[in-house]
Structure 1
Amino acid sequence: MTSPVLQPGSGPIPAATYLPSTPDHVLWGRLPCATDAPVLTVDPGTELTLDTVSHEGILEDQGRDPADFFGRHGVVDVLDDAIALAGSDDPHRFGIDGPHVVSRPIAVSGACVGDLLAVTLLEATPRVPYGVISNRHGRGALPGEYPGEGMPLFSAFAGVSDDGTSGLLPLVDGGERSVRFPLRPFLGIMGVAVPGGERPHSVPPGPHGGNIDISLLTAGSTLYLPVQVDGALAYVGDPHFAQGDGEVSLTAMEGSLRATVRLDVVAREDALQRFGELAGPLAETTEYLVPTGMDEDLDVAVQHCVRAAIALLQARFGMDPRLAYAYLSAATDFRISQVVDVVKGVHATIRKSDFA
């Protein structure tokens, strides 16, 4: 049966260190920078559990009142931290700031510029049995076509099956028949702070990570991020229940998660031997090495990803670059991570077993 609603502090909390999503523990619409004070300082190897809050249902064009928004869909038990954030005096500026809610930064002792921060997702548990998929005019892969004339916003309410494994979306508004698709919870945003005193917008991803929206990064995966400020100042947010590569309509099935992560530091010398010089995020799953490429131009993002993949094969396996290029063409899928976050993302899936 579907798990009970995980209100702040209730239910299983796997790690000894717990960070709730109370208004003083999160940023809304912006990502941490070097001048932000850490909300926690942890040693490398620390596991911590964080509650995350989805932006769907709390945004201004949805009323900034999640109890009312979800109540219209028959939801009685709405997350207290979502209600608290929406009703707080947080100076979120709709249309200027991004939509995403992220944790305030977590400092990792000993992390230095040039090292890699490894963020491993150990567990991602839905906090509620529902999610939302939204489209706004001027956004998504088909701006101007959807959600439709005279409709600036369309928010589709998606349920979760009784066994908790599938999302359910009606075939037509108000209809009884639904399409059923697998839930694969992951965090759309994992990142490190940028240098300087200006917080980045939460939407475009970059070398700092941020809103990379790679659907492969489910439990058991690791994201490696080049540390840009001492202490790394890590953060997570933008919880997803499910997403197709591309995320074409602007959002995926967005829903709040309780996430348990482990934060490790890979020293620069070790990082160079294992991965080469990274210009941006690199992911690893049990099956794949996943280099990334990003740019506002999708063609350029593909080129960046191909170059990153060649450099990774050269550093990791000593492969000749020309043969690496040939191998990638014959054996590796290049997937569109997302096309809706201003800076478009591409990721490659290099099978580790090919080099066993």
Structure 2
Amino acid sequence: MPDVIFPLDSSKNFEDQKLLGHNRWHPDIPPVATVKPGDSFRVECREWFDGAIHNDDSAEDILNAPLDTVHKLSGPFAIEGAKPGDLLIVDILDVGPIPQEDSGPLAGQGWGYTGIFAKKNGGGFLTDQFPDAYKAVWDFTGQIATSRHIPEVAFEGLIHPGLMGTAPSADLLATWNKREGALIATDPDRVPPLALPPQPKDAVLGGVSPSDFERVAGEAARTAPPRENGGNQDIKNLSKGTRIFYPVFVDGANLSLGDLHFSQGDGEITFCGAIEMGGFIDLRVELISGGMSTYGVSENAIFMPGRVDPRFSEWLAFSGTSVTLDGEQRYLDSHLSYQRACLHAIDYLTKFGYSPEQAYLLLGAAPIEGRLSGVVDIPNACATVYLPTAMFDFDVRPSADGPHQVKQGTPAPHAAG
């Protein structure tokens, strides 16, 4: 096993660990460890809410999830010799739930969860249709996930980090804050908000000195969106065997990561749409000097996905076009077309006895495939969502016999805000 350079004690909160990570992006957050190009190492990661979500049959924890506290990131880790303009190569050697802990109160100890976030507290891809909080708890048996809250489904997880990235430079951080602030100003009272500005409350800033803490907390960017440094990309294919090329913006690169997922559908559509968990990740790093200009990777990481995807041979696919539920035509709106494809899949699954919320939770957690199938045929963009048929315990295809009816047990927990 590689050396553990960021250990976590499951009996302690994130802020009480031997090494303190962070939950904001800022170039002045000092590294907690330094590694050399060619080194392999292990990093332990806490689930993004640090234990605030429980293995129970209530969704009150999702309704009141402390969004100001996320994401709880391990790092930063400096790479010896890294300079702005380089490309940082990160190989994911292995990734999984909390080792040797198959039961306990923390997500990753044999279980994980998926949440539909309330519209007033985060929202989601289909928040207008699903404004309340719901939760599904998933049990892990090896690589297989099942849930008492979504009956008659089982699927193999594609384990991956939802969030990994390098530190921004001061100039890049200022760019983020300026452009996101301008977006917020167009509709400052929108629910859910258009973007998240710096929030000093609940900021965790690693080893930033007390004299600098207030300044850094007021400038530091929230970790919710993907940006030029990688960040919260939520790409389910960043799994074992993946190689990622990250732009470097500061000396040392200062790599950070977290938000591990046992499984996820393309889009993570419920916002907390993956199966969230804590766990470990083994990495190896290398550098390409001056690689950003050499390869034209001046912003946004590029990657070579691993080869451990579940091997599904049959799919049931649903399409959607850029027409609203009210019948309004939109011009090549691929976001809307994917929403409509997902809604068509959800409506279909309700014919088998699932509630709309159960179907929505399933699309976020299971390894569905989302595709932009047509973006040139004016005026309608076409998006598709593919459901692997093998994840159902019954034949989910249309037939003359009519839809099978699932046997409901424990309903998906619900909390109205």
What TM-score does the superposition give when structure 2 sets the normalisation length? 0.53
Using CA pairs under 8 Å that are at least 6 residues apart, name the structure with larger relative contact order, 1 or 2: 2
For residue 254 of structure 1, the aligned residue among 249, 269, 276 is 276
* Maintained 8 Å contact 2:47/2:278: yes
- 1:55 maps to amino acid: W
Q: Which runs of 5+ in 2 are unaligned?
A: 9-13, 58-64, 99-108, 171-215, 308-331, 336-368, 373-417
Query: What are the within-5 Å matches in structure 2 for residues 20-59 of structure 1?
Result: 20-21=7-8, 22-23=14-15, 24=17, 25-27=19-21, 29-31=23-25, 33-56=26-49, 58-59=51-52
In the alignment, the residues of structure 1 paired with residue 137 and residue 20 of structure 2 have an alpha-carbon distance, to the nearest angstrom, of 25
1:137 and 2:118 matched: yes
Relative distance call for 1:111 and 1:57 in structure 2 (3 A) is closer
Residue from 287, 290, 301 that aligns with 1:268: 290
Cα distance in structure 2, aligned partners of 1:224 and 1:259: 17
Q: Which has the higher strand share?
A: 1
Cα distance in 1, alignment partners of residues 137 and 306 from structure 2: 32
Q: 1:193 to 1:57 in 2, by over 3 A?
A: closer
How much has 1:144 moved relative to structure 2?
3.3
Preserved CA contact (<8 Å) 1:166 1:182: yes
- The change in CA–CA distance for 1:277 and 1:192 in structure 2 (over 3 A counts) is closer
Q: TM-score, normalised by structure 1?
A: 0.61
- In the aligned structure 1, how far is the partner of 2:223 from the partner of 2:22? 8
TM superposition shift of 1:94: 3.3
CA distance in 2, matches of 1:276, 1:147: 42
Cα deviations by residue, 1:32-91 (Å, 9 ceiling, x for unpaired): x211111001111111101111135733xx5xxxxxx33x46xxxxxxxxxxxxxxxxxx
Report the Cα offset of residue 129 of structure 1.
1.2
Q: 1:54, 1:216 → 2: CA distance?
A: 19
1:1-356 map, 5 Å: 14-21=1-8, 22-23=14-15, 24=17, 25-27=19-21, 29-31=23-25, 33-56=26-49, 58-59=51-52, 62=53, 69-70=54-55, 72=56, 94-95=66-67, 97=68, 99-127=70-98, 128-138=109-119, 139-146=123-130, 148=132, 153-161=133-141, 164-170=142-148, 172=150, 177-196=151-170, 197=216, 198-251=219-272, 252-269=274-291, 272-273=293-294, 275-285=295-305, 335=371
Q: Post-superposition shift, 1:272?
A: 4.6
- 1:118 Cα deviation from its structure 2 partner: 1.4
- Tell me, what secondary structure is at the counterpart of 2:283? strand
SS at structure 1 position matched to 2:227: coil
CA contact (8 A) 1:56 1:254 kept: no
Residue 180 of structure 1: how far off its partner (Å): 0.5
Deviations 1:245-266 (A, max 9, x none): 0111112111112111112111
Which segments of structure 1 move beyond 4 Å, counting only runs of 4 or more?
Answer: 298-301, 333-336
Corresponding letter in the other structure for 1:159 = D
Aligned counterparts of 2:240 and 2:168: Cα–Cα separation in 1: 26
What is the one-letter code of the residue matched to 1:218?
Answer: S
